Amino acid sequence: MLFSEFEQNELDISSFSLELFTRFNNESQAAYLSRSVELLCDILHTRLGLLADLNRLKEEDFTVDEIALIDEIVLQAQMQCDSSNANNELNLSLLSDLIAYHDRGELGSSMDFDTTQRSRMFFDIQYAKASAKRESYWNTLFFLFNTSSTRRLAKTMLDGKKILLFGGGRSKLNVELNNHNINPDFLLNVDPFVDNLEIDSDEVVSFSAADSKLPSVLNQKSVNQVDEIWAEFSVPAYLHETNKIKILFENIHALLAVGGNARIWPLKVSGVGESSICRARKQMLIESVRWICSQANYELNLFKSAGSWGMVLTKLDKFNVSFTSKEVSLKVKNISTSN
């Protein structure tokens, strides 16, 4: 169905202009998806009430018009677009208000991390999994809703792609994606704290995502540049040494191919409250995002899912010099030496 075929009064929200869902020239896929999902949420909240938990909606909960609108978003999201120079200043300035704290204490072994495992799946929500009951990789890293057309979009986004999972635990995403006829080139799980893998678990590279030797360890496995990096409730939320947050972003920059996306959800650092160490971790996350955006033409998009903010960093194809990398690395150095 095309926009022009919609009767605006078929949707519950009469004041809403469907033209708003048209993709802008030069609007990246990540930017379009995060903008269109916000608009869609406004429509859904109007029908279901402001307190409705949209994360729990299943395909059968949508009206025919809403499904048609999601289909249209999927079509628009697949259009090719020329990337332009990203302007990240607004999103960078918002970061400090959006980064939250995650307090699970100082975990440092496989046994410790066993207690954090929620076995999140790519599409399916694990309703029985305590705090993770509203979360899947798709709805926290890509698009809030899971319908047959968004699964087709996932196929166009992921077929043939080289994917690194940072902190996947005992993930079985390869099997699940293949079951949906989605076939990445490879999907490797970089996680130093997993034992007792099951036969259908994703292959694990037992190494920290925040170790500066990660790129060379992966190079030895013939993994150089990848199209997607996913950190689902892993790093930076479980990094305790402030300096490791900086190394995480250096690794992302070293490993991400031009045109690739690094997706991180939630935007949380370890700790609770406003102690100096917590503030330093948060400040390091902000400066590291600022640093990576100065190293190439990255576009920073922010989105909210399951009550927490996340980010997508897309490495666009043109270099963007908004400020010198020397200035930024100096700032990062000042923070790392001050704690």
Ligand X SMILES: C[S@@+](CC[C@H](N)C(=O)[O-])C[C@H]1O[C@@H](n2cnc3c(N)ncnc32)[C@H](O)[C@@H]1O
Cα angle 12, 15, 21 (rounded to 5 degrees) comes to: 85
Instruction: Check binding of 140 to ligand X (CB under 6 A).
Output: no
Element housing 317 (H / E): none
Give the three-state DSSP class for 262. Answer: strand
- Residue (of 231, 201, 205) closest to 217 by Cα position: 205
Residue of 86, 143, 154, 168 that binds ligand X (CB under 6 A):
168
Instruction: Check binding of 224 to ligand X (CB under 6 A).
Output: no
Stretch that binds ligand X, among 14-22, 93-101, 203-211, 310-318 (CB under 6 A): 203-211
Q: Which of residues 254-313 bind ligand X (CB under 6 A)?
A: none
Residue of 26, 93, 109, 119 that binds ligand X (CB under 6 A):
119
- Residue (of 223, 246, 245) closest to 234 by Cα position: 245
Query: Helices in 103-232 by DSSP H: which ranges?
Result: 110-114, 137-141, 148-158, 173-179, 214-220
Residue of 65, 176, 191, 202 that binds ligand X (CB under 6 A):
191
Tell me which DSSP letter residue 190 carries. Answer: E
- Residue (of 144, 189, 141, 120) closest to 54 by Cα position: 144
* Residue with Cβ nearer ligand X (126 or 295): 126
* Residue with Cβ nearer ligand X (66 or 232): 232
* Residue with Cβ nearer ligand X (119 or 219): 119
Instruction: Check binding of 232 to ligand X (CB under 6 A).
Output: yes
* Residue with Cβ nearer ligand X (156 or 206): 206
* Residue with Cβ nearer ligand X (150 or 201): 201
CB of 265 to ligand X, least distance (A): 9
For the record, the structure tokens of 234 come out as 């892993």
Residue in the structure block whose two tokens are 């100082």: 106
The reply to whether omega before 184 is within 30° of 0 (cis) is: no
The order of strands in the sheet holding 204-205 is: 204-205, 186-190, 162-166, 226-232, 256-265, 308-315, 298-305
Query: Helices in the chain by DSSP H: which ranges?
Result: 29-48, 64-77, 89-98, 110-114, 137-141, 148-158, 173-179, 214-220, 242-255, 276-295, 325-337
Stretch that binds ligand X, among 76-84, 226-234, 285-293, 326-334 (CB under 6 A): 226-234
CB of 238 to ligand X, least distance (A): 4
Residue of 233, 249, 298, 309 that binds ligand X (CB under 6 A):
233
Q: Which of residues 88-117 bind ligand X (CB under 6 A)?
A: 113, 116-117
Instruction: Check binding of 209 to ligand X (CB under 6 A).
Output: yes
* Residue with Cβ nearer ligand X (65 or 191): 191
Binding residues for ligand X, rule CB under 6 A, total 24
* Residue with Cβ nearer ligand X (213 or 318): 213
Interface contacts to ligand X, rule CB under 6 A:
113, 116-120, 166-169, 171, 190-194, 208-210, 232-235, 238
